[in-house]
C-alpha cells in the first residue's frame, strides 16, 4: 500500500508543513512508514513503500505514488540511474519535458510537483486512474492526497456535500469525472495534468491516441503481438512485488492473468508464485464460477483460496461497517472483496491484481460492420453477420439492424462535431432515459442534470465510429471510480492494487488497429481469445458463459438485509435533502418483496440509493 499528501501556499506566507501530519494521519492505513520533505511554500509526505518524495537544487518538490514501467529505458533517456526513486525520475522528466512529461511515462502514477521557479503546482495522473488523486483549493492554499478523508482531516476543507454529484448518481445520470461527493474537493481526472497558480486551477488531457488506425497485419499476427504485450504487462506487475495475488473469477480476463503468470514462472522459476482468491456462492450455483477457476489453478499449480459468500451478502455488515467517507460507492460484492483482501494480507500477499479493465479494451459490444463494409464490401458484411446471428441465435436482419444501420447516424454525425446542436436539442426536447420512480425530477432540474453533466464523457475525435466508441469506453469515468474503490479497499488491508489491463501500452495498441480485428464476426474479445490460445486451457478460453451473482445480491437486499433496508427507509436523509420521494421508495421496496428483483437499471438505482443513505447517516452528512 502507498499514498501521499501534499500542501502548498500559492501566494501567502501560510506554512504548509502544518498540514502534513493530518494529511498522513488521515490515511494511516496506507503505510506506517512516512517520508516527508518541504521547501519554501510547499510540503509533502509519502506513505508506505510505493510512494516517494524528492527535491532538487532549484527548490522543486515532488511527491509520487507510482510504479513506473520501463524504468531502465527512462533512466537512460534522462541520464539518470535505475537506483533513483520514482520521484527522482519523474522530477528529472519534468525538468526535461516540462508539462509534457506525463506523456513520456509508462505505469501507474499520481504525482504533485511544487514548481518553485514558476511559482505554481503541477500534477498528473495515469490514463486509467489506477493511482488516486484528489485536491482542494481553499483560498490560496492547495491540498492534495490519495483519499478525500485526508483533505477533510486537515480541518481546512469544508465537509459540505455536493448535491449535484449525489443527485446525478441517484438518477443514473453520468456526473462530471472531476466531481466528488464534497463541494470543495475535486478529482484530477485520469490521463490529465493540472496547473495551479495565482491565476487559478486548470487541467488538460495529455493522452491522445493516433487519430487513424492502420491495418498492417493479419488476425493471427495481431494475436501474437497481443500475446507478447500481455506477457509484458502481467510480468511487470508480478515482478514488482515479492508476493502477488489475484482475484480470480471464471472470466477470460482474470483467467488470462493467472495463466500468463504461470507461464512466466515456468520460464523463470525465480518469479514469485501467484496466490489466487475466488468467491464461493454455495446455494447459488448459477452465480458460481469455480467450475472454471478450480481446475485451472490445479493445472497451473497455483494455490487458490475460496472466499465463502454465505454470510457476505450485501449489507450483511450493516451495523458495523459503512461506506468510506470518500464516497457512498459500494459494490454489491464489497464484503467478499474485503474478506478476500484481508485473507490475502494474512497470507503475506503484497499486491492484489484484478481483471477489471479488460472489457473496455476488448469487449463492450463494439462491433465495426461499418468498417467491414468499407474494406470488404456488402457480401463480406453479410457473411460475417450470418455467422454472428447463428452464434447469437437470432436473425441476420437483427444483427445488421443493430450493429450496422443503428451505428450509421453516429458515423455521419459524431459527437465531437455536433456538441452545440446536440446540447440545444436536449434542452429543447424533454425526456431521455426514464428516472427511477423515487428520484425527484425537480432536483435534477435545479442542478441542470436533466441530461447528465456537461462533458461527463469527453467526445473522442478519433477517426472511425467504432474507434471513437472504444476510446470513450476506455475513458469512461465509471471505470476509474471502480478502480479508486478497489485501490482504497486493498490499501485498507495493507495491500497494493494493480490491474494488468489498465496499461497504456495496451490502450495504445488496441486503438492503433482496426476495430474489426478486435471483435471478429461480432465475437467480443476475439483477438484476446486468439492471443491466449495455447496459454489458457481451451475450456476456459472458449467458455462463453460468465456467471453473474444477481440472485445472490437479490437474496441479500430482499431477505438477508431486510431489516437494514427498512431502517434506511425510516425518514431517509436523502428525502430530507430533497433528492428522493420517501413514499415512492417505500412502495418500490414493498413491490420488490412481493415480485422479486425488477429490471436491472432500477435494481442498480435502488442499490445506489441504499448506499448513499447509509453513507450520509454513518458520517452524519
Q: What is the pLDDT of residue 115?
A: 95
The pair phi, psi for residue 212, each rounded to 5°, is: -115, 145
> 3-state DSSP call for residue 3?
strand
- Counting other chains too, the contacts that 334-342 makes at CB distance below 8 Å and 24 or more residues apart are 334/489, 336/279, 336/307, 336/309, 336/312, 337/247, 337/486, 337/489, 338/489, 338/492, 338/493, 339/307, 339/312, 340/247, 340/277, 340/279, 340/307, 341/489, 341/490, 341/492, 341/493, 341/495, 342/493
The string of pLDDT tens digits covering residues 314-325 is 888 887 888 899
Q: What is the pLDDT of residue 546?
A: 64
475/208 Cα distance (integer angstroms): 11
The string of pLDDT tens digits covering residues 367-385 is 898 888 888 888 988 888 8
Name the CA dihedral angle for 92, 94, 100, 106, rounded to a multiple of 10 degrees.
50
567/614 Cα distance (integer angstroms): 10
Q: What is the mean pLDDT of residues 210-219?
A: 90
404/394 Cα distance (integer angstroms): 15
Q: What is the mean pLDDT of residues 267-283?
A: 93
Check pLDDT > 90 for residue 263.
Answer: yes
Q: How confident is the model at residue 427 (pLDDT cuts 50, 70, 90)?
A: low
Return the residue matching grid coordinates 490560496: 140
Q: What is the mean pLDDT of residues 90-111?
A: 97
| Cβ atoms of 135 and 153 closer than 8 Å | no
Q: Over the range 421-456, which residues count as b (16 or more CB within 10 Å of their CB) and which as e? A: eeeeeeeeeeeeeebbebbbeebbeebebbbbbeeb
The pair phi, psi for residue 98, each rounded to 5°, is: 60, -140
| Cβ atoms of 126 and 103 closer than 8 Å | no
177/481 Cα distance (integer angstroms): 9
| Cβ atoms of 223 and 253 closer than 8 Å | no
Q: Which of 175-189, 321-335, 407-421 has the lowest mean pLDDT?
A: 407-421
Q: How confident is the model at residue 423 (pLDDT cuts 50, 70, 90)?
A: low
226/530 Cα distance (integer angstroms): 9
> 3-state DSSP call for residue 349?
coil
214/33 Cα distance (integer angstroms): 48
The side-by-side arrangement of strands in the sheet containing 134-138 is 34-39, 42-48, 2-9, 141-145, 134-138, 186-187
What does the radius of gyration of the chain's CA atoms come to, in whole angstroms?
24
The string of pLDDT tens digits covering residues 482-500 is 899 999 999 999 999 999 9
| Cβ atoms of 5 and 145 closer than 8 Å | yes
333/553 Cα distance (integer angstroms): 8
The side-by-side arrangement of strands in the sheet containing 275-280 is 304-308, 275-280, 244-247, 351-353, 496-498
Q: How confident is the model at residue 411 (pLDDT cuts 50, 70, 90)?
A: confident
Number of H helices, E strands in the chain: 26, 17
On average, the pLDDT of the chain sits at 90
Closest CA to 588 of 571, 573, 609: 609
468/511 Cα distance (integer angstroms): 9
44/4 Cα distance (integer angstroms): 7
Check pLDDT > 90 for residue 243.
Answer: yes
CB-count exposure of residue 286 (10 Å: 0-12, 13-18, 19+) = exposed
Q: How confident is the model at residue 425 (pLDDT cuts 50, 70, 90)?
A: low
The string of pLDDT tens digits covering residues 35-86 is 999 999 999 999 998 999 999 999 999 999 999 999 999 999 999 998 999 9
Q: What is the pLDDT of residue 454?
A: 54
253/275 Cα distance (integer angstroms): 16
| Cβ atoms of 500 and 349 closer than 8 Å | no
Alpha-carbon torsion 217, 218, 219, 224, what sign?
negative
Best-predicted range by mean pLDDT (106-110, 165-169, 293-297): 106-110
Which residues make Cβ contacts (< 8 Å) with residue 205, sequence separation at least 6? 189, 191, 192, 458
Q: What is the pLDDT of residue 228?
A: 98
Q: How long a stretch of residues is the chain?
A: 621
The string of pLDDT tens digits covering residues 326-350 is 999 878 888 899 999 999 999 999 9
What is the residue-wise DSSP string for 9-25?
A: ESSS---GGGGHHHHHH
pLDDT: is 330 or 261 the higher one?
261
Check pLDDT > 80 for residue 600.
Answer: no
Check pLDDT > 80 for residue 547.
Answer: no
pTM score of the predicted model: 0.94
Amino acid at each position: 500500500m502507498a499514498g501521499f499528501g501534499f500542501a502548498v501556499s500559492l501566494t501567502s506566507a501560510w506554512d504548509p508543513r502544518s498540514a502534513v501530519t493530518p494529511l498522513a494521519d488521515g490515511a494511516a492505513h496506507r503505510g506506517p512508514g512516512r517520508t516527508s520533505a518541504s521547501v519554501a511554500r510547499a510540503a509533502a509526505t509519502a506513505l508506505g513503500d510505493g510512494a516517494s518524495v524528492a527535491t532538487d537544487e532549484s527548490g522543486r518538490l515532488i511527491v509520487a505514488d507510482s510504479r513506473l514501467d520501463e524504468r531502465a529505458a527512462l533512466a537512460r533517456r534522462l541520464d539518470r540511474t535505475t537506483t533513483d526513486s520514482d520521484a527522482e525520475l519523474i522530477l528529472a522528466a519534468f525538468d526535461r519535458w516540462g508539462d509534457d512529461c506525463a506523456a513520456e511515462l509508462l505505469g501507474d502514477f499520481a504525482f504533485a510537483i511544487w514548481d518553485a521557479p514558476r511559482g505554481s503546482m503541477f500534477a498528473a495522473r495515469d490514463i486509467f486512474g489506477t493511482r488516486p488523486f484528489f485536491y482542494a483549493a481553499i483560498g490560496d492554499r492547495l491540498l492534495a492526497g490519495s483519499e478525500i478523508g485526508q483533505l477533510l482531516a486537515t480541518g481546512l476543507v469544508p465537509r459540505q456535500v455536493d448535491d449535484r454529484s449525489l443527485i446525478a448518481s441517484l438518477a443514473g445520470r453520468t456526473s462530471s469525472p472531476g466531481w466528488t461527493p464534497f463541494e470543495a474537493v475535486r478529482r484530477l481526472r485520469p490521463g490529465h495534468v493540472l496547473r495551479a497558480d495565482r491565476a487559478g486551477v486548470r487541467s488538460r488531457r495529455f493522452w491522445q491516441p493516433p487519430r487513424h488506425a492502420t491495418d498492417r497485419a493479419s488476425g493471427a499476427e495481431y494475436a501474437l503481438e497481443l500475446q507478447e504485450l500481455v506477457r509484458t504487462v502481467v510480468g511487470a506487475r508480478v515482478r514488482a512485488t515479492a508476493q502477488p495475488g489475484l482475484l480470480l473469477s471464471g472470466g477470460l480476463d482474470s483467467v488470462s492473468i493467472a495463466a500468463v503468470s504461470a507461464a512466466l514462472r515456468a520460464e523463470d522459476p525465480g518469479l514469485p508464485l501467484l496466490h489466487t482468491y475466488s468467491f464461493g456462492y454455495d446455494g447459488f450455483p448459477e452465480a458460481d464460477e469455480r467450475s472454471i477457476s478450480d481446475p485451472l489453478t490445479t493445472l497451473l499449480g497455483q494455490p487458490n483460496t475460496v472466499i465463502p459468500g454465505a454470510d457476505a451478502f450485501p449489507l450483511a455488515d450493516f451495523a458495523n461497517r459503512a461506506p468510506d467517507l470518500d464516497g457512498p460507492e459500494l459494490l454489491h460484492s464489497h464484503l467478499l472483496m474485503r474478506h478476500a483482501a484481508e485473507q490475502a494480507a494474512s497470507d503475506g500477499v503484497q499486491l492484489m491484481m484484478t481483471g477489471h479493465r479488460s472489457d473496455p479494451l476488448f469487449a463492450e459490444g463494439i462491433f465495426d460492420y461499418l468498417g467491414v463494409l468499407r474494406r470488404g464490401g456488402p457480401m463480406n458484411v453479410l457473411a460475417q453477420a450470418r455467422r454472428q446471428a447463428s452464434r447469437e441465435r437470432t436473425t441476420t436482419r437483427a444483427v445488421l439492424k443493430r450493429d450496422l444501420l443503428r451505428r450509421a447516424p453516429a458515423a455521419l454525425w459524431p459527437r465531437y462535431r455536433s456538441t452545440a446542436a446536440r446540447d440545444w436539442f436536449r434542452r429543447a426536447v424533454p425526456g431521455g432515459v426514464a428516472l427511477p420512480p423515487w428520484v425527484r425530477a425537480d432536483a435534477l432540474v435545479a442542478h441542470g442534470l436533466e441530461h447528465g453533466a456537461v462533458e461527463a464523457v469527453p467526445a473522442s475525435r478519433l477517426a472511425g465510429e467504432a474507434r471513437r466508441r472504444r476510446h470513450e469506453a476506455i475513458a469512461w469515468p465509471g471505470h476509474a471510480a471502480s478502480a479508486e474503490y478497489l485501490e482504497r479497499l486493498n490499501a485498507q488491508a495493507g495491500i497494493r492494487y494493480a490491474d494488468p489491463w489498465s496499461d497504456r501500452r495496451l490502450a495504445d495498441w488496441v486503438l492503433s488497429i482496426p476495430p474489426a480485428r478486435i471483435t471478429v464476426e461480432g465475437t467480443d474479445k476475439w483477438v484476446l481469445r486468439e492471443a491466449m490460445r495455447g496459454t489458457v486451457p481451451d475450456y476456459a478460453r472458449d467458455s462463453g458463459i460468465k456467471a453473474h451473482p444477481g440472485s445472490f445480491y437479490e437474496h441479500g437486499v430482499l431477505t438477508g438485509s431486510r431489516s437494514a433496508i427498512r431502517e434506511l427507509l425510516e425518514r431517509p436523509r436523502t428525502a430530507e435533502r430533497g433528492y428522493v420521494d420517501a413514499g415512492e421508495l417505500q412502495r418500490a421496496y414493498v413491490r420488490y418483496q412481493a415480485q422479486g428483483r425488477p429490471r436491472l437499471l432500477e435494481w442498480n438505482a435502488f442499490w445506489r440509493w441504499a448506499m448513499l443513505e447509509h453513507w450520509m447517516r454513518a458520517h452524519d452528512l
